[in-house]
Chains A and B, each alone.
Chain A
């Protein structure tokens, strides 16, 4: 070593020369370290996984609607998993498990955060790229590996994991417990190890980038709500995922090394006494839900941030209660760590402890309600532009309200004991975190598509997509509340064996057809998405007339985002329809000195010189007025 290399910052640079590498197909599209390309990789992988998970759900919906009917096509497609054209009962459980796993982790965690944190964090805070572009690239490749391993479990003889996406032991800990507990479960665990590594690498980068790499003038209180949401989501992930790792490590030891962390007194198949003693399956539930509950906020918070931004832009109004929005996000972040017990009310938990978890759970209603009212107040008397993105953002709020209300039911220990593991729970979380988060994601896709691909998506297909999906999702999930109230349990293969539940068969048929309709509606989206990438209308630089920094970058992507210097930020991102301004939006890069007519005293809170200038200007204006 011993050389003291001095880097001369003033070395002449060559315009358009990338300096250290040539752009090849491989490093542009495959092993890209550019955050915009990585975002697209995440998005396309996420959409593919979502389509797969959706098809799985249609398969098990068909089983629920027609439990006695044989579909020869099913056997052609699925082979041994559907003998005689009827879904195998173990495979049904696998479908439910993998549908849940893919949707929660691969679509709504990696697909949502991965896409929009990668795309928006550097672009909206004014950075050239992430803190560590290399780690960012690894994050995507670990995610892709995890996806492939998860899907490959359909190829093993006994099928994929089938103990539910929460993989409670003993089903997950004893390889012989059920067909899916063998190789399928092993692959599930390997896949999740890659997935967690991916999301930790991503999350570490997002947090570090937001805290360290904001452009000049971009203080925390000038950040758009998308950034706040994605930042807090990353913080949640960084704190919660390691706990899942701990839980999974102990599970792997129980599975393969004969320890008894989670296992105790088990007899398999009626005769084989297992050598495990003294373990506690509840311990796994504690470790799992300590991640699992923050996880649902990891899913919904990016959707909240995206909706806030999209609704503000398309209402042509500042977001109502910006500070309250941020504080409620922070509140949700903190509270999410002390509510995990509400998933475990029926584990024999001490009722007093249950009461504590009940109170903390119900307190989450406060920040959630703050956000909801703020969204509605943002719409109130806005100059609303019903773009496809706007419709999806409003849809997100709708689902969040109707799903959130049933959360108050389920948060109550006394009610949850009746409703636990019924379709009421299925209805609740599919609305509040499933549909709401998907709608937030779709709002983001429609809104930032021009930024990602330089072209516009077709609005009319977007409307078709929205209305069919919106109505379809309600038709699917709303009737499930009533099934749940009647005590119909979730995850059951067929209800024909139970006298009291037979009457729900007609509802199941209805739900299945609604689900098929919503699934077909996604074809409109997929066609629109793929067609627009290649043949969509060319986008202008700022198609939505938005204030945030990403719209100041050129339409053509370049590594480093801005051709010259990174712009400086002077104001928050929500100066829409400001009285006295020439246009109904003022980008963050416009200094107050250029907008004298629309400045207000509170724009100069920590800026006495600016305030003085403002006072001088207004008094001159007044004097001129009098002269006239």
Chain B
């Protein structure tokens, strides 16, 4: 029986599958928010009526780059180059923080220079904050996940577990990247 439980512990495929399903739930969440936007702006005739701040371009660049470093970290982990794996993980986390900062800066631009507030009679404009804010919550979760993988890679973690942690983080990280691109394109298409 102990053997059986040991087998179960090493049976990581179902746990990885859990992550995929979680991504599905997250996807549904953002799909609901964007559908909400469509129903709202279609029903009331309110649009965003503003050009997205250019900060979003830079944050998009940052998060795209972070996907590249994430990929490199996974490749290094598979190739047993652990120093490299850790370096790229550090880089990914750094880029995530940069992304976070730029998003907050974009809010600052929206509020101070464009006069677009969260608390707003035109909820289409409030939706910009909801999209980016909810996405930032996912970014925070992603940073926590990456941090956990990084922290464990300094510990004496078996390679099976290390690879598993890497896979979980990279599935999730690429997902938040893709979600941001989806949201950004959605916002760009609905500017006017």
**Complex contact A241–B8 (CB within 8 A):** no
Chain B residues whose C-beta falls within 8 Å of the C-beta of A253 in the assembled complex? 118, 126, 130
Chain A residues whose C-beta falls within 8 Å of the C-beta of B46 in the assembled complex? 278
User: Count of chain B residues with Cβ under 8 Å from any Cβ of A?
Assistant: 53
Q: Chain B contact residues: over half helix, strand or loop, or mixed?
A: helix
**Complex contact B21–A258 (CB within 8 A):** no
A45 interfacial contact with B, CB 8 Å: no
Whether A1 contacts B155 in the complex (CB less than 8 A), given A131-B18, A243-B29, A276-B121, comes out as yes
A13 interfacial contact with B, CB 8 Å: yes
Cα separation A259 to B128 with both chains bound (whole Å)? 12
Cα separation A564 to B9 with both chains bound (whole Å)? 17
Whether A204 contacts B21 in the complex (CB less than 8 A), given A286-B39, A287-B36, comes out as yes
Chain B residues whose C-beta falls within 8 Å of the C-beta of A242 in the assembled complex? 25-26, 28-29, 32
Which of A17-25, A367-375, A380-388, A425-433 forms contacts with chain B?
Answer: A17-25
Which of A179-187, A208-216, A389-397 forms contacts with chain B?
Answer: A208-216
Chain A residues whose C-beta falls within 8 Å of the C-beta of B7 in the assembled complex? 9, 128
**Complex contact A200–B25 (CB within 8 A):** yes
B1 to chain A: closest residue by CB: A560
Count contacts between A and B, CB distance < 8 Å. 168
**Complex contact A278–B25 (CB within 8 A):** no
Chain B residues whose C-beta falls within 8 Å of the C-beta of A275 in the assembled complex? 121
B24 to chain A: closest residue by CB: A238
Give per-residue flags for B3-30: 1 if the beta carbon is below 8 A from chain A beta carbons, else 0: 1111110110111011001101110110
Give per-residue flags for B24-55: 1 if the beta carbon is below 8 A from chain A beta carbons, else 0: 11101101110110011001101000000000
Cα separation A207 to B23 with both chains bound (whole Å)? 13
Which of A99-107, A223-231, A244-252 forms contacts with chain B?
Answer: A244-252
Cα separation A132 to B18 with both chains bound (whole Å)? 8
Cα separation A207 to B22 with both chains bound (whole Å)? 11
B122 interfacial contact with A, CB 8 Å: yes
A241 to chain B: closest residue by CB: B25
**Complex contact A1–B8 (CB within 8 A):** no
Chain B residues whose C-beta falls within 8 Å of the C-beta of A208 in the assembled complex? 14-15, 17-18, 21
Q: How far is the CB of B14 from chain A (nearest CB, A)?
A: 4
Give per-residue flags for A189-223: 1 if the beta carbon is below 8 A from chain B beta carbons, else 0: 00000000000100111011101110000000000
Chain B residues whose C-beta falls within 8 Å of the C-beta of A259 in the assembled complex? 118-120, 123, 126
Whether A132 contacts B82 in the complex (CB less than 8 A), given A18-B1, A242-B32, A246-B33, comes out as no
Cα separation A406 to B128 with both chains bound (whole Å)? 43
Whether A209 contacts B1 in the complex (CB less than 8 A), given A242-B29, A246-B33, A290-B32, comes out as no
A15 interfacial contact with B, CB 8 Å: yes
A246 to chain B: closest residue by CB: B32
Cα separation A287 to B18 with both chains bound (whole Å)? 25
Cα separation A1 to B163 with both chains bound (whole Å)? 12
Q: How far is the CB of A209 from chain B (nearest CB, A)?
A: 7
B134 interfacial contact with A, CB 8 Å: yes
A283 interfacial contact with B, CB 8 Å: yes
Whether A246 contacts B5 in the complex (CB less than 8 A), given A238-B21, A278-B121, comes out as no
Chain B residues whose C-beta falls within 8 Å of the C-beta of A211 in the assembled complex? 17
**Complex contact B1–A558 (CB within 8 A):** yes
Q: Which one of B43, B123, B157 lies within 8 Å of A1 (CB-CB)?
A: B157
Q: How far is the CB of A532 from chain B (nearest CB, A)?
A: 29
Whether A249 contacts B156 in the complex (CB less than 8 A), given A282-B43, A560-B4, comes out as no
**Complex contact A2–B32 (CB within 8 A):** no
Q: How far is the CB of B7 from chain A (nearest CB, A)?
A: 8
Chain B residues whose C-beta falls within 8 Å of the C-beta of A623 in the assembled complex? none
Q: Chain A contact residues: over half helix, strand or loop, or mixed?
A: loop
Q: How far is the CB of A330 from chain B (nearest CB, A)?
A: 17
B162 interfacial contact with A, CB 8 Å: yes
Cα separation A238 to B21 with both chains bound (whole Å)? 8
**Complex contact B28–A5 (CB within 8 A):** no
Give per-residue flags for B138-165: 1 if the beta carbon is below 8 A from chain A beta carbons, else 0: 0000000000000011111111101000
Q: Which one of A11, A238, A560 lies within 8 Å of B5 (CB-CB)?
A: A560
A244 to chain B: closest residue by CB: B32
Chain A residues whose C-beta falls within 8 Å of the C-beta of B126 in the assembled complex? 253, 259-261
Q: Which one of B2, B32, B119 lies within 8 Å of A14 (CB-CB)?
A: B2
User: Which of A27-78 touch B at CB < 8 Å?
Assistant: none
Chain B residues whose C-beta falls within 8 Å of the C-beta of A290 in the assembled complex? 32
Q: Which one of A11, A239, A280, A287 lies within 8 Å of B44 (CB-CB)?
A: A280
Cα separation A617 to B41 with both chains bound (whole Å)? 71
Whether A261 contacts B32 in the complex (CB less than 8 A), given A2-B82, A4-B158, comes out as no
Chain A residues whose C-beta falls within 8 Å of the C-beta of B154 in the assembled complex? 1
Q: How far is the CB of B162 from chain A (nearest CB, A)?
A: 6
Chain A residues whose C-beta falls within 8 Å of the C-beta of B22 in the assembled complex? 200, 204
A129 interfacial contact with B, CB 8 Å: yes
Chain B residues whose C-beta falls within 8 Å of the C-beta of A498 in the assembled complex? none
Q: Which one of A11, A238, A250 lies within 8 Å of B25 (CB-CB)?
A: A238
A602 interfacial contact with B, CB 8 Å: no
**Complex contact B82–A1 (CB within 8 A):** yes
Chain B residues whose C-beta falls within 8 Å of the C-beta of A250 in the assembled complex? 33, 36, 130
A352 interfacial contact with B, CB 8 Å: no
Chain B residues whose C-beta falls within 8 Å of the C-beta of A207 in the assembled complex? 21
Chain A residues whose C-beta falls within 8 Å of the C-beta of B162 in the assembled complex? 1
A210 to chain B: closest residue by CB: B14
Q: How far is the CB of B155 from chain A (nearest CB, A)?
A: 7
User: Which of A232-280 touch B at CB < 8 Å?
Assistant: 238-243, 245-247, 249-250, 253, 257-261, 275-280
- 28 A-B residue pairs with Cβ-Cβ distance under 8 Å, sorted by A, are A1-B152, A1-B159, A3-B158, A4-B80, A5-B160, A11-B6, A13-B2, A129-B8, A131-B14, A200-B22, A211-B17, A238-B28, A239-B24, A242-B32, A243-B32, A247-B32, A247-B36, A257-B118, A261-B123, A261-B126, A277-B121, A280-B39, A280-B40, A282-B43, A283-B40, A287-B36, A560-B1, A560-B8
Q: Which residues of A contact B (CB under 8 A)?
A: 1-5, 7, 9, 11, 13-20, 128-129, 131-132, 135, 200, 203-205, 207-209, 211-213, 238-243, 245-247, 249-250, 253, 257-261, 275-280, 282-283, 286-287, 290, 558-560, 563
Known: A132-B14, A239-B24. 10 other contacts (CB 8 A): A1-B162, A5-B160, A9-B3, A13-B6, A128-B8, A246-B36, A247-B32, A253-B130, A260-B121, A287-B36
